[in-house]
């Protein structure tokens, strides 16, 4: 994954770079390394060049998912998921809404 993100950086593709950072963040969350997960999701949120609703929903959902993984940031995670759900509903993104709801259920929220 790191090699792929470097390739995107070399190509000057900021949206792809942001998505790659988001995927790295979720991969680190999956292994339980929340510090690295937060580091990479922070990069993804800073470098996303587009404000396309789908990308915003994906970033907010990933950020919320990571924050839910730590009891100390659980409320912030729920807030991020609320934001993502509101935007997804506004643009009729039913698949993303279902994904957000699944994350909430899994996290007990």
Q: Domain containing 77: what range?
A: 2-106
pLDDT single digits (tens) 1-51: 667 656 666 666 556 778 888 999 999 999 999 999 999 999 998 877 667
| Count of domains observed in the chain | 1
Strand, coil or helix: what is 5?
Answer: helix
3-state SS track over 62-104? HHHHHHHCCHHHHHHHHHHHHHHHHHHHHCCCHHHHHHHHHHH
Report the half-sphere exposure of 71 (CA within 13 A, side-chain side).
0
C-beta separation of 48 from 70 below 8 A: no
- Give the Cα separation of 51 and 55 in Å (integer): 7
Report the half-sphere exposure of 24 (CA within 13 A, side-chain side).
22
CA 1 to chain centre: 16
Q: What confidence tier does 58 reach under pLDDT thresholds 50, 70, 90?
A: very high
What is the percentage of the chain residues whose pLDDT exceeds 70? Answer: 84
Q: Specify the pTM.
A: 0.82
CA 34 to chain centre: 13
């Amino acid at each position: 994954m790191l090699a792929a993100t470097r390739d995107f950086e070399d190509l000057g593709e900021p949206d792809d770079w942001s998505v790659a950072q988001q995927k790295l963040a979720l991969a680190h969350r999956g292994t339980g390394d929340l510090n690295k997960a937060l580091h990479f999701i922070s990069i993804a949120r800073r470098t996303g060049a587009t404000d396309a609703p789908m990308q915003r929903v994906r970033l907010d959902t990933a950020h919320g998912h990571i924050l839910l993984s730590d009891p100390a940031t659980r409320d912030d995670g729920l807030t991020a998921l609320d934001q993502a759900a509101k935007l997804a509903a506004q643009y009729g993104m039913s698949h993303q809404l279902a994904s957000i709801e699944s994350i909430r259920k899994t996290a007990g929220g």
